[in-house]
Structure 1
Amino acid sequence: MKPRPSIYIDGIEPFIDSELVYKPNPVFSEMERYAKEKNIPIVTAATGGVLSQIVSFIKPNKILELGTGLGYSTLWMVKGNPSSNIITIDRHEEQAKLLDGYAQKMGLESQMDVTRVTGSVIDYLANESLWKDVDFFFVDCDKITYPTIFRTLWPKAKKGASFVYDNVLWHGRVLDPDPKKPSDMAVMELWNEVKSQVSEYTLFPVGDGLLFFQK
């Protein structure tokens, strides 16, 4: 996987993540190094910090994370509110199960309530009974699924449910999306859906853009 461009000027994002973000456990830095070495996409440290803070304010009972990665964002949310029940879905079992080992290194395995599910995000969402009581959705999976996920969840999510989407600035390509790239078009379609149907939303310009809104 080739490196994707940052939305920031050269050098500032690594400086933010390494020098300015408070990390509640050194294992987060270990995960960042592993992700870089293995080319596994994860949220930035700054994004993780903002996500954790949002969760700490809302204190959701049940979180559904679409896209586990290696569990980096999952553990940031655990830090935000350890009492939240988190279900996290990813089709890559070997990669996602790294979450368990990192949670153990952090000493969180006995304190958190996290269930990993291996499979397709879209297939999982097809069963409404699995997510109808979710309070908080964090979406960070294949970008081409973003509009479908919005159209599936938004009409039927319970009142007051919170949504957070990562990568909504799509490495700056929202400025000049390539119509030949499905991912570019999907991110733009998500923005069109949100702007036309959501009365209030907040863009956090951290990492690759974090979008927050509520039902």
Structure 2
Amino acid sequence: MKPRPSIYVEGLEPFIDSELVYKPNTVFSEMESYAKEKNIPIVTAATGGVLSQLVSFISPKTILELGTGLGYSTLWMAIGSKFSKITTVDRHEEQAKALDIYTKKMGLENQIDVTRVTASVLEYLLDENLWLDTDFFFVDCDKITYPTIFRTLWPKAKKGSCFVFDNVLWHGRVLNPDPKKPSDMAVMELWNEVKSQVSEYTLYPVGDGLLFFRK
């Protein structure tokens, strides 16, 4: 059998995000342009679409997002499940305030329940009462914190809660991680933790890779 060629050819992913992904609001494209201009990392449109569909299927009462960025992924989830109560945590107050602006631009300020918290993710997680009852965790913050976040949440999260980690393909560096780069080693450590402790998981190879599993 001939080896199957990779779909990851040059130019395909930008084409997917700009031409093939359904965007429920034109403000998403505005956010993408702003993120590119200011060099602010956000999930891809395809990743946002998958997130939105996941929460629409699961209908979690509560969502905890670790890493707000501009609020791009926050709004994808909010549109996917408007009855979910979302808490999003990020230490960068000025950058995260963009979420408030874009929420109003989308006309969603009275339709969704989103609370923005300015704090270090790891410090926020120290208070278990803030997250023990969470139904859906989305993790997209500093990669070196990924193993600690998993080890903190997984043992104590309630049964049935769902987890999604972004950037688990880490720009392809999972293929040849550099042991001198803490972020490379952290992503690989997360994979080792998940594969050794989680009975079933799903990798969505969109954007930089979404990893989904349930407690």
In the superposition, the TM-score normalised over structure 1's length comes to 0.96
Q: Deviations over 1:122-153 (max 9, x none)?
A: 00001101001000000000000000000000
Q: Secondary structure at the match of 2:24?
A: coil
Confirm whether residue 100 of structure 1 aligns to residue 100 of structure 2.
Answer: yes
Q: Secondary structure at the match of 2:110?
A: coil
* Partner in structure 2 of residue 162 of structure 1: 162
Aligned-residue offset at 1:51: 0.4
Which structure exhibits the higher relative contact order, with contacts defined as CA atoms closer than 8 Å and separated by 6 or more residues?
1
Distance 1:82 1:97 in 2: 20
Report the Cα offset of residue 9 of structure 1. 2.0
The equivalences for 1:92-131 within 5 A come to 92-131=92-131
Q: Does 1:73 align with 2:73?
A: yes
5+ long unaligned stretches in structure 1: 1-6
- Cα deviations by residue, 1:40-59 (Å, 9 ceiling, x for unpaired): 00000000000000000000
Offset, 1:73: 0.1
Q: Which sections of structure 2, spanning at least 5 residues, go unmatched?
A: 1-6
Q: Equivalent residue for 2:138?
A: 138
| Post-superposition CA distance 1:13-65 (Å, at most 9, x none) | 10000000000000000000000000000000000000000000000000000
Following TM superposition, by how much is the alpha carbon of 1:8 offset from its aligned partner in structure 2, in angstroms? 2.7
Count residues with an aligned counterpart.
209
- SS of residue in 2 equivalent to 1:70: coil
SS in 1 for 2:87: strand
Partner residue in 2 for 1:36: 36
Tell me the CA shift for residue 10 of structure 1. 1.0
Letter in 1 for 2:156: K
Which runs of structure 1 show a deviation greater than 4 angstroms over 4 or more consecutive aligned residues?
none
Q: Percent identity?
A: 82
